[in-house]
A and B are shown apart, each in its own frame.
Chain A
Amino acid sequence: MMEPVRIDPQRALDEAMRAQQKLAASFQTLRQVEDVHYGATAKDEIYREDKVVVYHYRREGNPTAKAPILICYALVNRPYMVDLQDNRSLVKNLLALGEDVYIIDWGYPDRADRWLTLDDYINGYIRRSVAAVARDAGVEKINLLGICEGGAFSLCFTALHQDRLQNLITMVTPVDFHTKENMLSHWTRDLDVDLFVDTLGNVPADLMNWCYLTLKPVRLNQQKYVAMLDILDDKTELENFLRMEKWIFDSPDQAGEAFRQFIKDFYQGNKLIEGGLEIGGQAIDLKAITIPVLNIFAEQDHLVPPSASRPLGDHIGTKDYTQLAFKGGHIGIYVSGRAQREVPPAIHEWLAKRTR
């Protein structure tokens, strides 16, 4: 047996000096970095209702795709993750491939939105957003791309209104909420969600962020910032880092009633696959989904473990189901270099074969 650690003193000194030099440099670079902006692609508002806005991303020339894609993001965090910056943009890459892309921006719910239910979101906002996109694009049916919680909403919407859609794409979407790796779900099971929502009204963003960070407290709150030492002298990298930080902590509060139902029925009851889920008094039966479905999940996802997404194929009625496992995490699936190379072409090619 050998000693497990063999750090040469000179190398340790070099490492320490390098880190120190980076810290010293940061005094300059942190003052030089611009205010970070997000959103690489220009977009136009096509529909607005309450705080919800549907945007149409601008493109050069006409799309070659026959039907537009509407991106339905989660209520937690902001949707600009899909168009974070010029070289990290799912939207930009989809546009380059000829797609026509729209997105729902949920805005920042406040106390006036405390009573919004899942029915309001799914049968209300999403249904009218889908209609607005179809009208704007001059088509009868569109493609829906749901992300994370937005994916679960999209599944419910499709089960109820699939006559408005050609195809459904789900990304990092939880379907089975009771798999053993699902830490978030594990923690919600003994939560008195009625007491929680009755007390808080809307669920504060800080509380949500705290919960997410405690999923991996050392990695997300310490190691990440140690790694930041390496880029302290690089203005561009530092701006990229700050942009990501901005996104992570730019979180909307959660509308109380919708949160109550989501935790009760999805996290605690696992009703999406076990049955008994109702949205606006209408039963949700995933077997009713018969349009083509593409399910993309991330293999290293700590928020929505792959085991939570993978079972979708077993629960929906369609005969045209495709599954794509991405080597990366919940965020990497949008912003990593691999994601830029792999995800948009996969979506585009899958849609091209199915859209009429």
Chain B
Amino acid sequence: MAQGTETSGAPDDWQARSAQYWNAWMDATRKAFGVTAADSATARTPWHEGLEQWARLFDAGAAKDSQSEVVERLLAGARSYFALLQSLAQKGANGQADPKAWTDAVRNAFNFPGADAALLDNPLARAMRELAGQGAKGFEQMMAGMEPAMKEARSLLDLPAFGYAREHQERYQKTAKAWLDYQHETNRYNALIARASRRAFEVFEDKLAEHAEPGRQIDSVRGLYNLWVDAAEEAYAEVALSPEFREVYGALVNAQMRVRQGAQQEVERMSNDLGIPTRTEIDTLGQRLHALRREARTQTDEVIPRLVAEVAALRRELEALKSGAAAAATKNVASRKTAPRRKAPAKAAKSKSEQQS
């Protein structure tokens, strides 16, 4: 069993292996993809550049459309992993040993060349950005498109509205305020994600320390990467489940909706001016149609079956009455036939009443 003072391989060993790996990577890349040494010889970061080379081959149209998204996501994930490999190689070469040094190696892995400077030391923000779907991207694009107009509107924010264009000015002011509010809430949200990232490194260091016990050492890059992911998720969950995050998250979403609504209203207004049917009109039609369908459904499902049942019951009742009456009539006829003849009482009664009147 190795002792605590030992490092994970001599620095020279790591450097030699790193160079060996890079040469092997180059050979394999050439063989697999048919690229020339010159294409990638300028690479400063072997793993990162190699991945880019790999992705470019798919960009060239080799992947089916349905797979391009997967290739993109695979690239994003693999980039972090290979960057970690490279960072660890450098760390190994430096021969540092304590959890903080390993944490720094992981931290450096996320700051590879080409990475967005705004996301340095903020791997969670990077993960969030990488996962943005088309819906989120669409909104970001809309925000970028609105930027010039908003800059213009911002200058009008504090001016009182008056005159013929008063309503327009107030509307612009409202949208601009919503936009500024959204920027503010985005900053608050990003600050929380950055906090989660910082916390992730602390949790990672704690988790590493737990592995300093005999028999629990991490012996693979993947193992170290997985430990980092556990730490990042734990730190993120701590923040994401906090009351502060809940408030900021709600405020951010609400602010975004107000911006969207402002933009929608402007489009509606322009559409109205141009005689183009608006979403509000179509929604109103849809709502009325839906209400009618519900009413028709209620008729079909509840009123008509009830009426049918009622009619059936009435028919049964009528049949019963009819058959009762028929039976009574038959009985009367039968009794008349069988009963002994008497003097006509009705006639006698009639005569009596006539006498009284």
Contact = CB atoms under 8 A, between A and B. Distances in A.
A and B: bona fide binding partners: yes
Interface of A: 1-13, 15-17, 19-21, 23-24, 26-27, 30-31, 33, 35, 111-112, 114-116, 120, 124, 180-181, 183, 186-187, 189-192, 195-196, 198-201, 204-207, 209-210, 213-226, 228-229, 242, 245-246, 249
B17 A198 contact: no
* A-B residue pairs, 6 tightest by C-beta: A190-B250, A225-B77, A206-B135, A24-B32, A206-B133, A4-B211
B266 interface: no
A200 B32 CA distance: 47
A21 B254 CA distance: 47
A19 B81 contact: yes
Interface in B238-275: 240-241, 245-247, 249-251, 253-254, 257-258, 260-261, 264
Interface in B198-257: 208-214, 216-222, 224-226, 229, 232-233, 236-237, 240-241, 245-247, 249-251, 253-254, 257
Interface of B: 1-4, 6-9, 13-14, 16-17, 20-21, 24-25, 28-29, 31-33, 47, 50-51, 54, 57-58, 62-64, 66-67, 69-71, 73-74, 76-78, 80-82, 85, 88-89, 92, 97-99, 102, 123-124, 127-128, 130-136, 138, 208-214, 216-222, 224-226, 229, 232-233, 236-237, 240-241, 245-247, 249-251, 253-254, 257-258, 260-261, 264, 279, 282-283, 286-287, 290, 294, 297
A16 B225 CA distance: 13
B8 A3 contact: yes
A217 B211 contact: no
B243 to A, nearest CB: 9
18 contacts: A1-B4, A3-B6, A4-B209, A5-B8, A9-B14, A9-B92, A12-B92, A13-B20, A19-B82, A27-B58, A198-B261, A199-B258, A200-B260, A210-B135, A222-B76, A222-B130, A224-B77, A226-B77
B67 A199 contact: no
Contacts of A216: 233, 236
Contacts of B297: 124
Contacts of A228: 74, 77
B260 A225 contact: no
Nearest to A257: B290
A111 B283 CA distance: 8
Nearest to A191: B250
Nearest to B264: A199
B318 to A, nearest CB: 30
B62 A9 contact: no
Nearest to B125: A217
Nearest to B228: A218
Contact of A210 (B64, B131, B226): B131
A120 B294 contact: yes
Contacts of B78: 19, 23, 225-226, 229
A115 B261 contact: no
Given A12-B221, A20-B24, A217-B124, 8 more contacts: A2-B214, A4-B217, A4-B218, A12-B92, A24-B31, A196-B257, A214-B131, A249-B69
Nearest to B96: A3
A217 B189 CA distance: 15
Nearest to A24: B32
B95 to A, nearest CB: 11
Nearest to B93: A9
A1 B1 CA distance: 12
Contacts of A4: 99, 102, 208-212, 216-218
B105 to A, nearest CB: 9
Contacts of A1: 4, 212-213
Contacts of B8: 3, 5-9
Contacts of B136: 206-207, 210
Contact of B123 (A35, A201, A218, A225): A218
A217 B286 CA distance: 37
A187 B132 CA distance: 18
A191 B9 contact: no
Nearest to A223: B229
A192 B66 CA distance: 36
Contacts of A33: 67
Nearest to A34: B64
A196 B14 contact: no
A1 B54 CA distance: 42
A198 to B, nearest CB: 7
A6 B226 contact: no
A214 B131 CA distance: 8
A81 B239 CA distance: 32
Contacts of B47: 16
